[in-house]
Structure 1
Amino acid sequence: MTEPNGLSTLLNPKSIAVVGASDDVSRIRGKLLRTLLLAGFTGDVHPVNPSHARVQGLTAYPDLHAIGQQVDLVMVGVPAASVMAVLEDAAAIGAGAAIVHSAAEPDPQVPGGTLVADIAAFVARTGMRVLGPNAEGIWNVLDRVGANFAPVLDPAVMVQEPVDDRTDRISIVSQSGALGFALYAQGVQNGLAFRHVVTTGNEADIETLEVVDHLVAAGDSAAIVLFLEGLDRPDRFASVAASAADAGVPLIVMKVGSSEAGARAAVSHTAHLAGSDTAYDALFERYGVLRVADPEELMAVAGVLSARREPAGTNVAIITTTGGAGGWASDLCGEAGLAVPPLGDDLRAELAGVVPSYGSTANPVDVTAAAIEGAGENLVTILEAVDRDPDLHAAIVMLNMISPDRVARLEPFLRPLLERIRIPVVFHSPSPPAPENVRALGAMGAPYAGIRGAAKGIAAAVRYRRFRDRWVRPVPAPPGAGGDLAALLARHGVPTPPEAVVHDADGAVAVAQEHGYPVALKVVSPDLPHKTEAGALALGLADAGEVRAAHDRILASARAYDPAARIDGVLVQRMMPPGRELVVGMVRDPDFGPLLMLGFGGVYVDVLRDVAFAPAPVSAADAQRMVDRLRGAAILRGIRGEAGSDVDALVRLLVAVSSIIEDAGPGLRELDLNPVIVYPEGCVAVDTLAVFTPAAEEETG
């Protein structure tokens, strides 16, 4: 990434001014300077306080102009009413970046509006980059830039991780300052190594995705952890996530809250089923972003992924000193989608030379405490044997680490093994581990986690390996050409039943006789998107008399249901034989653009809610993964003697609908094909609905 974005100045300044610096370290203004000094920053530090000549032992200056030297980064710890004046001074002396730690709530003393709006206008005018307001700050671990007031960096609270040449360092980007540094503290306690912690606050200027993009380009983060409440620039997400995928840098996200970017329409089933987080989940799936549920899982996944050993499959060997703990781990592995298979005879025979007779060479491997006493030769022998077995893809080692020197005694044998081993190995202690053991494991590149976290971490690594194996950067869609629904369906080869629109009963009978009985009749109206509710639909009509009667009946029902409804005629459609009913659709998310949906159900789609979403456009491989993500995917392949459905035809239809979305362009707001009937050979879209803008009129068929 090139320097003009200013983030290098923010993250790696050579000189820092702390405006509002105080001797009172119980206040944020005092904590800012104290943390910076305790962190070991080696550049120039300039406290700014007009009331004191010295602050915390350093020469203080009345304002930024009085410093008389280059200042790269300005930390702003003054009240909100004074922030803009400080920023103006910072720009005047040529500072490259600032962190506004002051709160961003509206303040009547701030002229011109809220602090966020004022900072945004200032950045647009001056080009200086600003983190915050309401930002806890940053922590550049290797360069010791502790530009924050986080208490977790205080040596009295926790031991800071050492600076070394580890290549498994993790970066944290968090919209919450407190949580961002809490995740860092938890990670350090788990023996993980970190490169950056960046908390973005209210994001008047520098926002989450820009930081992520910068860190990916920098190339020194083995994984990037994100805590998200929402995105100010969601349109950038696909590009940033694609860059991370290209670089092989896993993005691990804990997201809370709901998108408030805009209300979704509820005309189509697709729009009704697209919840507030649907777009995020669909984009995460497309770009290999790993979503986690809680901080423990987040740190476990980050630990396994940052070790840069991606398991080739789901088979896990569990090595334990107690059988009960091994059974517990097996259950949690199963919940995470992993397998704990029986070991092969050759491997069991090899392990029998190390495992006592009262242990077990099955899987879990109960080595007993006796097998790993001493300097660790036996544990290394066991792990080497597991690593050589191509049918095993990861290992969980469970041993009691309550004794502070337990790992230190194993290290002479364990470290060389962990440097050359093929599979990821995650360690766990059934009893609370001594911190020394966890840190020693981390220094050897061996993640430590709770049992549930270990299983989820390995499962996430499997998912990321599979994503990397299939990753191809999507090709941007061309501008849409637009068009009415029937023309779009025909142009892209979406199979539909024989049908025609008529304007009287005689016309309905003529079309029915031409296409063949039985037929369905549907009132065509942009104001009646759901025909069943309005009584505007008749099915299974077998002769001319039934067609005539149904024609007049459904028109009367439609007019009674909504006297103001526009009626454009009656669609006569050949009835299709029964098959497996699905729904295919699209809703245009206000943040992320068009989302393609596939689901089970026909009229029951809103009840079953077995659906999969993906951002359009989709390839055939993307479409196949949508099918595979359905809970009822096995039904399509055929169960209990039933014939399987033509999944290939369904995949082609999904790709065709994706092409329709591209062709129609942004004017197509919603699309529903419900039902799509899939047969053992072929499929057909029976009922269709489209909502176009700006006219926002529905087209149905």
Structure 2
Amino acid sequence: MDIELSQKKVEALTSPRNVVLVGASDRPGSWAARVWRNLNEYKFPGNIYPFNPGRKELYGQTCYGDFTSLPEKPDHLVVLVPAQHVPGILKAGAAAGARSATVFSSGFGEAFDDSATELGRQLRQVIEETGLAVSGPNCMGNVSGKASFVTLTEDRPMKPGAGPVALVGQSGGVMIFVSHALEERGMKAGYLITSGNEAGLSVADYIAYFAIQDEIKVIVIYVEALKDIERFKQACRYAREKGKHIVAIKLGASEAGRNAAMAHTGSLAGSMEAFEALTGELGVARADTLDDAVELTELLAHTGAPSGRRLAAVTLSGAYRGLLLDAAERNGMEFPKLAQNTFDHLNKVLGVGSLVSNPIDGGFGVLTSKDNYLACIEALQADPNIDMILLQEALPREPGSARGESYIRMVEDYIVNKAKKPIAFVTLTSHSQTDYSRALRHDAPHVSFLQEANKALRVISVATRCRELEAMARNAATEPAANEAQKQAGQALRAAAANAAKTPALNEVRSKDILRSYGMPIAPEKLAQTVAEAKAAAKEIGYPVVLKAVSADLLHKSDAGAVQLGLASDADVEASWTRIETNLGRHGFKGKLDGMLVAKQVKGSLELVLGLNRDPEMGLVVMAGMGGIWLELFKDVAFALPPITREKAHDMLAQTRALRLLQGYRGSPELDIEAVVDGLVALGRVAADLGDSLRSIDVNPFVVMPKGEGATALDALIVLRE
């Protein structure tokens, strides 16, 4: 990605010298009429030229029919003509000197319209050939507050101007509603971009531009699909280096990847999980809802994310203490015990009617004394057990709350001059704002006003988690060079990938051979072609053993009765061989049988699933969680992007309920967690080395033994990428 080129193009789009309204119309309510009105109403400083070959005059001024007749070179084109005319308009406008365009028109294949796909290809080709900076097609216009440039078709009143937030998304409606919600909270969006289908400029280009706008603190994006994941990664990392926070909204999850998957990993990892794994490592905070996006923006624009999950709070009621404690447990945050020095000091400061704990119930002790209130804040700031302080307070919405207003001003002053840890106000419920409360909020720009305990702690948790993942990604160790065994395994897999269209899956033996070379623990086993070979293998391995049919065409062996357990003698092996052949016939198996696998029977304490899956948008993601019969029932799984360091592997397990079982639950022995970490790191190595050839890897079950006894992959399936 050429960062400087992206910035130059978005600058041309958002700060044009003049605007040519192509497809100008005075039909009441039309988008053309709305754009004309908004450009004038919000006082765009450049010239605005109506353009329509069928009209000589519009809006009381000359209407132009070709670009050469304009009084000056066109700079920005607002395109509101049928789709088939758009490529020609852009080509002619660029030839006349235009630098940018906003294409409102739809009909370029965005609604699964195959007949319009060719038109979309033509549009992209023209954009590439001309170098025009194009937002859209299928968008609703844009707002650049600094440039007083408003082509957004919104007919409700707006207040464009410089602000700390930039909005960009593929849904104009979503961006408009988020903008209104931010305005309600007293935060102005300095930019609002509806990027549409992104045939030209993409969300990555806009992020790169907003990263160098000094006034922007938070970039809010709405993403339906990422067309170039590497550009997106580069832009996000660049923005984070520039100190910008990014909040992402991605509603819904893709079914395409799951429906196409041949392994459990694919059926569990959809777009959303992969997107979360990606964005977290990029320092992008994903919001579940539009309300959460607004709340996150409030937090990040005015307070920022805490360095850890340990909270302290000063409340004005005992009931609110309970609400905060419940919300903390629900959202993975904690209110730890205060340091003894803090506890002793506050007991001296606060009198009868206050409860010194965490959260603190200040009661009348803080309601009636600013000194006590400030003493609580200072004590919590000095407490080494605390990462962030929450204060129960709401913005007054009308005159008459002198105490509340004075406390807000005192906290703002304290943050500016003394605070080392983030401080935020939190209210009991969500509520609206007034001009009066927004004026107060304007005078306290260094503290956030979060609404409702559970929502507030939810977004604090999201911001904290994002910070944790970003730090782990920065700490990722460089992978060592592949050894000889891995090189040979890689060559074999790439050779198989050449025939993936015919045989996309490797059989169990070939899958395990590749994983073993990368460090995945595999139990002793041997492939047999005859009953005699199977008996010999069983004696060599040692009874009891397992017998399994091996075929790339047999993905779920247990369903076909192709697995026999607990074989303790030669007679058991012979009988099981015959039984598997019979079961396969009854099951209707018509594929190629590569033999029978004789494997050491392993008894472990816990069955996990480890896996790797290629998401259509985000690429490869690694998965870990509860396996065996619990896999599809509980879906207790976690995801991360490769490479997988030991730190990242431990973090993945910490996101699952399986960790409690691994640690020893209700008297059960502690299991070999480090062996699970070894398996995840091995999968990360496979992804780093062979990722281009892989669609998915499924290791299920991955059996974990007691601590110090290791773990082993009992079954494995590698599915190749066509």
Q: TM-score range by the shorter chain?
A: 0.7 to 0.9
Residue 397 of structure 2 corresponds to 402
Cα distance in structure 1, aligned partners of 2:116 and 2:329: 58
1:227 aligns with 2:222: yes
Per-residue CA deviation, residues 535-588 of structure 1 (Å, 9 max, x unaligned), is: 212111111111122122212222332352211211111212333221222222
Once the two structures are superposed, the pairs formed by residues 466-545 of structure 1 within 5 Å of their partners are 466-472=468-474, 481-483=491-493, 484-545=510-571
SS in 2 for 1:426: strand
Q: Deviations over 1:211-232 (max 9, x none)?
A: 2233335565322211222233
5 Å-filtered alignment, 1:273-288, equals: 273-288=268-283
Instruction: Using the TM superposition, give the Cα deviation of residue 636 of structure 1 relative to its aligned residue in structure 2, in angstroms.
Output: 0.7
Give the distance between the partners of 1:592 and 1:537, measured in 2 at CA.
35
Aligned residue number for residue 595 of structure 1: 621
Deviation string, structure 1 residues 487-535 (Cα, Å, up to 9, x no partner): 4234223222222111222211111111111111111222222221112
SS at match of 1:122: helix
Question: Within 2, Cα distance between the matches of 1:69 and 1:660?
Answer: 59
Partner of 1:425: 423
Q: Secondary structure at the match of 1:182?
A: helix
What is the TM-score of this pair, normalised by structure 2? 0.84
Tell me which of 626, 648, 654 is aligned to 1:628: 654
Provide the rounded CA distance (Å) in 2 between the counterparts of 1:310 and 1:24.
49
CA contact (8 A) 1:518 1:575 kept: yes
Residue 208 of structure 1 is matched in structure 2 by: 203
| Cα distance change on mapping 1:442 and 1:458 into 2, 3 Å | farther
User: What's 1:438 paired with?
Assistant: 438
Aligned counterpart in structure 1 of residue 682 of structure 2, from 656, 660, 674: 656
How many residues are matched? 680
1:347-426 alignment runs, 5 A limit: 347=342, 357-368=352-363, 371=366, 379-400=373-394, 401-404=396-399, 406=401, 413-420=410-417, 421-426=419-424
Any idea what SS the aligned residue of 1:496 has? coil
Q: Percent identity?
A: 28
Does residue 448 (structure 1) correspond to residue 474 (structure 2)? The answer is no
2:69 is the counterpart of 1:66? yes
* Aligned counterpart in structure 2 of residue 676 of structure 1, from 662, 678, 702: 702
Checking the alignment, whether the CA contact within 8 Å between 2:249 and 2:289 is kept in structure 1 is yes
Offset of residue 298 of structure 1: 0.9
The alpha carbon displacement at 1:613 in A equals 2.2
Aligned ranges 1:210-359 → 2 under 5 Å: 210-216=205-211, 221-234=216-229, 236-259=231-254, 264-307=259-302, 309-341=304-336, 343=338, 346-347=341-342, 357-359=352-354
Is the 1:314–1:462 Cα contact (8 Å) retained in structure 2? yes
1:456-501 Cα distance to aligned partner (Å, 9 max, x none): 2322332233234333186699995343434423422322222211
Do the aligned partners of residues 561 and 398 (structure 1) sit closer, same or farther apart at CA in structure 2, a change above 3 Å counting?
same
| Aligned counterpart, 1:177 | 172
| Matching residue within 129, 132, 136 for 2:136 | 132
Q: 1:34 to 1:354 in 2, by over 3 A?
A: farther
TM-score (norm 1): 0.87
Question: Would the alpha carbon gap of residues 243 and 30 (structure 1) be closer, same or farther in structure 2, given more than 3 Å must change?
Answer: same
- In structure 2, relative to structure 1, the CA distance for the partners of 1:419 and 1:276 (3 Å cut) is same
The runs of 5 or more residues in structure 2 that have no matched partner are: 494-509
Displacement of 1:595: 2.3
The 2-side partners of 1:534 and 1:261 are apart by 27
SS of the aligned residue for 1:471 comes to helix
2: CA distance between counterparts of 1:436 and 1:397? 21
The residue type equivalent to 1:121 in the other structure is Q
**2:182 matched residue in structure 1:** 187
Residue of structure 1 in register with 2:12 after alignment: 9
Report deviation, 1:82: 5.1
SS at match of 1:626: helix
Shift in alpha-carbon separation, 1:623–1:241, aligned structure 2, 3 A: farther
Give a deviation string over 1:255-310, Cα, whole Å, max 9, x none. 11333665643432222322343322332343343222212111111221223543
The farther-off stretch of 261-270 and 515-524 is: 261-270
Q: Report the residue type matching 1:471 in the other structure.
A: A
The structure-2 alpha-carbon separation of the partners of 1:96 and 1:339, relative to structure 1 and needing over 3 Å to count, comes to same
Are the equivalent residues in 2 in contact too, given 1:303–1:457 (CA < 8 A)? Answer: no
Alignment of 1:106-145 (within 5 A): 116-145=120-149
The 8 Å contact of residues 404 and 435 in structure 1, kept in 2 or not, is answered as no
Alpha-carbon distance in 2 for matches of 1:482, 1:210: 40
User: Which residue is 2:31 aligned to?
Assistant: 28
1:19 is the counterpart of 2:17: no
Give the C-alpha shift of residue 347 in structure 1.
4.0
Q: For the aligned residues, what is the CA RMSD?
A: 3.4
Residues 308 and 323 (structure 1), Cα distance of their counterparts in 2 relative to 1, 3 Å cut: closer
Q: Is the 8 A contact 1:505 1:552 kept in 2?
A: no
Task: Give the equivalent residue in structure 2 for 1:697.
Answer: none
The answer (yes or no) to whether the contact 2:248–2:293 under 8 Å persists in 1 is yes
Per-residue deviation at 1:433? 4.5
Q: What amino acid does structure 1 have at the position aligned with 2:70?
A: I
Question: Matches of 2:657 and 2:308 in 1, distance apart?
Answer: 21
Does structure 2 retain, via aligned residues, the 8 Å contact 1:616–1:661? yes
The residue number in structure 2 matching 1:465 is: 467
- Post-superposition shift, 1:600? 1.6
SS at the partner of 1:645? Answer: coil
- Supply the distance in 2 between the matched residues of 1:648 and 1:320 (Cα, whole angstroms): 42
Q: Post-superposition shift, 1:9? A: 0.5
SS of 1:677 mapped into structure 2: strand
CA distance in structure 1 between the partners assigned to 2:408 and 2:635 by the alignment: 51
Note the alpha carbon deviations across 1:348-399, whole angstroms, 9 max, x for none.
665568767445444444445895579x676555434433333332233333
